[in-house]
Amino acid sequence: MDGTLIGLVAFGAVLFLLALRVPIAFALAAIATIGTFVIFAFRTGAFAPERAIRPTTSLVFSNSFDLIHSYDLSMIPLFVALGHIAYRADITTKIYHAARVWLAKVPGGVAMASVVGCGGFSAITGSSIACASTMGRICTPEMLSVGYDKRLATASVAAGGTLGSLIPPSVLFIIYGIFTETSISQLFLAGILPGIVSLLGFLLVIFIWVKRDPDAAPAYTGTITMADRGRAALESWPAVLLFVIIVGGIYGGIFTATEAAAVCVSAAVLIGLVQRKLTLRAIWESLRETCIQTTSIFLIAAGAKIFVAFIALTGVAPDIVEAVTAAELSPVLLMAAIALIYLALGMFLDPIGIMVLTLPLMIPLIETYGFDLIWFGVVVIKLLEIGLITPPVGLNVFVIAGVVGRDVPIDRIFAGIARFLSVDVLVLILIMAVPALSLVIPYSM
């Protein structure tokens, strides 16, 4: 049977199962297993199922086993645990409180502090959903209580939460690095400048919004002294220390990304215990939630690994590369087409699902055109980041909607998101047009 046809049908079948709300891990694994069985059963022309059982089970079990035993994959539970422990030790929230004090007199200061807090939270946890959920509970009620426009109060946190995808450490970068066999340490460093540019862009949106509509963010009438600012900055030292260990340790060659994660988890536990903000019960709850989240991610990764092996077996990727090469698409048109595909999928699927579904086809194309895989990783993560706030299924928007309940209709949140989306698109264009923005730090390590 035609392997390319089987591969294309398999992609359609996965999308169909996802539309039926079948979990993506099971959809990928099931379609890959059935497709592999069909290919081996018809290999000799006639249908011979007895010849397909052994190679199919070998492909399924060997690929999932190899993935789960990957050393790099151990980073995921470590960074997930770091986020939970740092939150319960009150490390992540101190970043927001420090930004709240320093930006109190700036127009839209609380909204800006929320975005900065999201950036700081992202620099420790690496999860956009967790960032939006946690910071949403802290920042959004406070903004609503002081009279902020409901669109600004919700959209700023939903958009700020997406920074968890780009600012290291990022779970999405880890998965991308494993499936493309690129350096995860370099990917982490590549996300720093684009992440900072995105953060500054969000701050600019808030500033312009409040300048044009002062009623959207009432001015702060209290008094903030330099002593208050200094005290707030000093209280955020644990978060700064953890970020320095991750970024400074990786850049300086002191730690690998996995070692940095382990050191940071140990440091966060020690800081929490010394400051008496972390109890044994809190540590247990952190580890419990880490196991639940990690299991979910591992199941998706295992299903994706099986699916990648199946796609390689069909030969659909080389056929697509050959077709695109024959069409003589320019690099600009190719990247524009890829961006449109990711943006379209981002409207309906979660980021991890999009990544594991598309990478088997995208990476051969990118390598054929000679693009840098580190740079392309940043582009992909930025596209996935945009998908987190793109209607109709912007996951971060629904997270914030769950936090505020019926106080703010979801259409109002999406109405506020539009301004942040425009900046995200501009930053995406900048990343594509200026690869050095992503590559200058990792290639100087």
> Rounded CA gap, 405 and 141, in Å?
11
Tell me if the bond preceding 169 is cis, omega within 30° of 0: yes
pLDDT for 229 equals 86
160, containing H or E segment: helix 150-161
pTM of the model as a whole: 0.88
In a 13 Å sphere around the CA of 178, the CA atoms on its Cβ side amount to: 29
Question: What's the CA gap between 216 and 149, in Å, rounded?
Answer: 5
Orientation angle between helical segments 150-161 and 128-145, nearest 10 degrees: 160
C-alpha 91/C-alpha 114 separation (Å) is: 15
CA separation for the pair 42, 378 (Å, rounded)? 40
Q: Looking at residue 246, what is its pLDDT?
A: 87
What distance in Å separates the CA atoms of residue 62 and residue 67, rounded to the nearest whole number? 9
- Residues 107/124, Cβ–Cβ less than 8 Å: no
Q: Cβ(39)–Cβ(309) under 8 Å?
A: no
Distance CA 164, CA 88 (A): 18
Which pLDDT score is estimated for 424?
93
What does the DSSP assignment read for 344-384? HHHTTS-HHHHHHHHHHHHHHHHHHTT--HHHHHHHHHHHH
> Rounded to whole angstroms, how far apart are CA atoms 356 and 31?
14
pLDDT at 47: 64
Q: How many CB atoms lie within 10 A of CB 287?
A: 15
Q: Residue 73 CB: number of other CB atoms within 10 A?
A: 19
* C-alpha distance across the termini of the chain, in Å: 48
State the pLDDT at residue 48.
66
Enter the tokens of residue 346.
């981002």
Taking the chain (445 residues) in runs of 10, the rounded mean pLDDT of each run is 77 87 88 88 68 83 83 86 87 86 87 88 75 82 87 90 85 89 91 93 93 87 83 88 88 87 92 89 91 88 87 82 81 90 83 85 89 95 90 81 80 88 93 94 86
- The one-letter amino acid code at 165 reads S
Q: Work out the burial of residue 233: count CB atoms within 10 Å of its CB; fewer than 13 is exposed, 13-18 middle, 19 or more buried.
A: middle
CB-based contact 190:439 (threshold 8 Å)? yes
How distant, in Å, are the alpha carbons of 94, 214, 436 from that of 173?
26, 39, 18
d(CA 294, CA 301): 10
What's the one-letter identity of residue 153?
A
How far from 347 is each of 8, 49, 79, 396, 423, CA to CA, in Å?
21, 39, 27, 12, 18
| Residue at token pair 């998101």 | 417
Residues with Cβ within 8 Å of 288's Cβ and at least 6 positions away in sequence, in order, are none
Q: Can you tell me the distance from the alpha carbon of 285 to that of 280, in angstroms, rounded to the nearest whole number?
A: 9
Residues 6+ apart with CB under 8 A from 444: none
Residue 194: is the preceding peptide bond cis (ω within 30°)?
Answer: no
Instruction: Return d(Cα 170, Cα 188) in angstroms, integer.
Output: 7
Task: Compute how many other C-beta atoms are within 10 angstroms of the C-beta atom of residue 137.
Answer: 14
Q: What is the pLDDT of residue 142?
A: 86
For 368, counting Cβ atoms within 10 Å of its Cβ (0-12 exposed, 13-18 middle, 19+ buried), the class is middle
166: nearest Cα among 444, 362, 380: 380
Give residue-wise pLDDT tens across range 352-398.
888 888 888 889 889 888 999 999 999 999 999 898 888 877 788 88
Gap between the Cα atoms of 176 and 191, Å rounded: 13
What would the pLDDT profile of 278-305 be if each residue is shown by its tens digit? 889 999 999 998 898 888 888 888 888 8
In a 13 Å sphere around the CA of 133, the CA atoms on its Cβ side amount to: 10
Q: Are 355 and 401 in contact (CB under 8 A)?
A: no
